[in-house]
């Protein structure tokens, strides 16, 4: 996971908020201070941190939560929104509109450029595009072999010539070769080193002129932290079109600084590198990234659902308590299933509860409307005792219930199976954790 340390620190700041009894100015200030500390430790520029946290504090103090949303939830939402804005707000996916789309990657040596080119080629191949890679790095002949080694197992062809010294020629010929082959995307990898930086930028200009790429992609090393700002800016000035891949965000203590610095230049971050393997590339979406970083699951969805819940009062407090205590009889099951029908699968709700991330089998919690009606009919033929203590239902009772309800023993068994499955599922959950989480959101 990218920026794990920062994520943990932000998450613990929000947990503190969730645990506090009241939300007053002092609480808000403390949360804001914790967020500041977390960001500064991740090498985010201090000025940017102050701007961001000032906005969070102001909004948290001044804004009234919308109806159906508690103060705590509202503050979490504000933090989420502001962090999302901080990282560029909207996702700007790489678009492959024309065939072939030509991409030129640039970046200084060691940034992870060659690896990223291979990752990107594979990423696009997985999405159904035929990709060709051109190596025009005349400074590091090894780059060509590195690309071949990474991509040949996937049947992605690499064009280049380690003996050739003219980078522009290599790029031009490589693009021509793949155009003739009829690929969908051509990725041109350029040199990452030159006698001097000016030379590198000049070479990039010349290649760009020769191959007219649809997009120039800068690869930036995420471990350099906020220094990424100047690199991204220099690049942005040198090329009018551009997007950025920030690499090595796995395990980098400074990754937050790099991401925010790049975002501050206004250049869109389209991908992040999160490991050394070819599949360790993620399309960058600020919203998804921040919600994962905060460990909130789908926070927007959560807030929406909570609002709905409060409106419908489907999940009554005592129900939840029972549910948390694992006291779960047939009546409870029915109420749960009925409620879930109205508000979407429990699975989704539980997955949205921060830090829980339970993965539930679909069929354990989902039943159709028809089935629910059948369950109702069956349950109407049960005694109060059977409903409260389903474990007493033996074979002769099953026969009696089926007869009484005009259903079959198979259907009664199905109901009981569903019950046992759900009960088992709830039993296996960590009740303390669940209760804590529920409390956190004022269920
Ligand atoms: P180039 O000189 O810019 O072409 O850099 P390379 O692609 O050769 O990468 C330099 C080093 O960084 C290699 O050891 C890569 O395995 C490593 N690297 C690249 N991207 C990532 C990443 O996202 N995460 C990690 N942990 N390592 C990476």
pLDDT in tens, 390-425: 999 999 999 999 999 999 999 999 999 888 877 777
Mean pLDDT score of the chain, rounded to an integer?
Answer: 83
Which protein residues touch ligand 1 with a CB less than 6 Å away?
107, 109-115, 192, 247-248, 250, 273-276, 280
Distance 113 CA to ligand 1 centre (A): 7
In the reported structure, the alpha carbon of residue 151 is separated from the centroid of ligand 1 by a whole-number distance in angstroms of 15
Minimum-distance ligand 1 atom for the alpha carbon of 113: 3
Ligand 1, closest atom to CA 115? 7
CA geometry: angle 82, 86, 90, nearest 5 deg: 90
Please name the residue whose Cα sits nearest to atom 16 of ligand 1: 276
User: What is the pTM for the complete model shown?
Assistant: 0.69
Query: Mean per-residue pLDDT for 221-247?
Result: 88
Residue with the larger pLDDT of the pair 16 and 298: 16
Residue nearest to atom 19 of ligand 1 (CA): 112
The Cα–Cα gap between 170 and 139 comes to 12
pLDDT at 95 over 50: yes
Q: How far is the CA of 142 from the centre of ligand 1 (A)?
A: 14
Closest atom of ligand 1 relative to the 272 alpha carbon = 23
Q: Is the pLDDT of residue 438 over 60?
A: no
Ligand 1 pocket mutation, candidates 2, 115, 271, 274, criterion most atoms within 8 A of CB: 115
Q: Whose CA is nearest to atom 12 of ligand 1?
A: 112
Q: What is the pLDDT of residue 301?
A: 53
* Residue-level pLDDT at 440: 46
pLDDT confidence of residue 432: 60
Cα 268 to Cα 289: distance, rounded to the nearest angstrom: 14
CA of 272 to the centre of ligand 1 (A): 12
- H helix and E strand count, the chain: 21, 8
Separation of CA 38 and ligand 1 centre (Å): 26
Domains by residue range for the chain, with CATH: 4-86 (1.20.120.140), 101-289 (3.40.50.300), 299-440 (1.10.260.30)
Cβ distance 228 to 263 under 8 Å? Answer: no
C-alpha 117 to ligand 1 mean position (Å): 10
User: Do β-strands 281-283 and 269-273 pair in parallel, antiparallel, or remain unpaired?
Assistant: antiparallel
204 class by beta-carbon count within 10 Å (0-12 exposed, 13-18 middle, 19+ buried): buried
Alpha carbon distance 376, 378 (integer Å):
5
pLDDT tops 50 at residue 345? no
User: Atom 13 in ligand 1: which residue has the minimum CA distance?
Assistant: 112
Q: Is the Cβ–Cβ distance between 183 and 130 less than 8 Å?
A: yes
What is the 221 CA–ligand 1 centroid distance (Å)? 8
Over 80: is that where the pLDDT of 197 sits?
no
In this predicted complex, what is the ipTM?
Answer: 0.99
Please say if the pLDDT value at position 363 is more than 70. no
The answer to which of 34-48, 187-201, 235-249 has the lowest mean pLDDT is 187-201
pLDDT for 431: 60
Mean pLDDT, residues 58-69 taken together: 85
- The whole-number pLDDT of residue 360 equals 44
- What per-residue confidence (pLDDT) applies to 357? 41
Residue of minimum CA distance from atom 6 in ligand 1: 112
Confidence grade of residue 312 (pLDDT, cut at 50, 70, 90)? very low
pLDDT of residue 420: 86
Which residue among 3, 4, 112, 122 is best mutated to probe the pocket of ligand 1, counting the most ligand atoms within 8 A of its Cβ?
A: 112
């Amino acid at each position: 996971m990218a920026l794990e340390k920062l994520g943990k620190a932000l998450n613990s700041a929000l947990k503190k908020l969730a645990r506090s009894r009241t939300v007053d100015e002092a609480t808000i200030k403390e949360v804001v201070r914790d967020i500041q500390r977390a960001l500064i430790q991740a090498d985010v520029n201090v000025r940017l941190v102050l701007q961001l946290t000032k906005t969070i504090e102001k909004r948290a103090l001044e804004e009234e939560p919308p109806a159906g949303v508690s103060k705590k939830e509202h503050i979490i939402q504000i933090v989420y929104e502001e962090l999302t804005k901080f990282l560029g707000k909207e996702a700007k996916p790489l678009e492959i509109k024309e065939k072939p789309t030509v991409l030129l990657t640039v970046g200084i040596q060691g940034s992870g450029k060659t690896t990223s080119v291979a990752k990107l080629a594979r990423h696009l191949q997985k999405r159904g595009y035929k990709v060709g890679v051109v190596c025009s790095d005349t400074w590091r002949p090894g780059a060509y072999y590195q690309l071949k080694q990474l991509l040949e197992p996937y049947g992605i062809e690499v064009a280049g010539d380690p003996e050739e010294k003219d980078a522009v020629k290599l790029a031009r010929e490589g693009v021509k070769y793949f155009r003739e082959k009829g690929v969908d995307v051509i990725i041109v990898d350029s040199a990452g080193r030159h006698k001097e930086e000016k030379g590198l930028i000049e070479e990039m200009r010349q290649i760009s002129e020769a191959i007219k790429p649809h997009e120039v992609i800068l690869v930036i090393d995420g471990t350099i932290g906020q220094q990424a700002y100047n690199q991204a800016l220099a690049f942005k000035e040198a090329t009018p079109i551009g997007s950025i891949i920030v690499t090595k965000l796995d395990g980098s203590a400074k990754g937050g600084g790099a991401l925010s610095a790049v975002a501050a230049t206004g250049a869109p971050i389209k991908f992040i590198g999160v490991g050394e393997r070819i599949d360790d590339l993620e399309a960058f979406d600020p919203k998804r990234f921040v919600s994962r970083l905060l460990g909130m699951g789908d926070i927007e969805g959560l807030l929406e659902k909570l609002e709905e819940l409060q409106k419908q009062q489907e999940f009554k407090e005592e129900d939840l308590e029972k549910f948390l205590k694992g006291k779960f009889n047939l009546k409870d099951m029915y109420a749960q299933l009925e409620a879930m029908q109205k508000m979407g699968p429990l699975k989704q709700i539980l997955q949205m509860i921060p830090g829980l991330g339970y993965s539930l089998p679909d069929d354990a919690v989902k039943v159709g409307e028809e089935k629910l009606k059948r369950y109702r009919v069956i349950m109407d033929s049960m005694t109060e005792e059977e409903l409260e203590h389903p474990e007493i239902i033996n074979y002769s009772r099953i026969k009696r219930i089926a007869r009484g309800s005009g259903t079959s023993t198979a259907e009664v068994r199905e109901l009981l199976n569903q019950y046992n499955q759900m009960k088992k599922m709830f039993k296996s959950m960590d009740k303390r954790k669940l209760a804590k989480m529920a409390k956190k959101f004022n269920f």
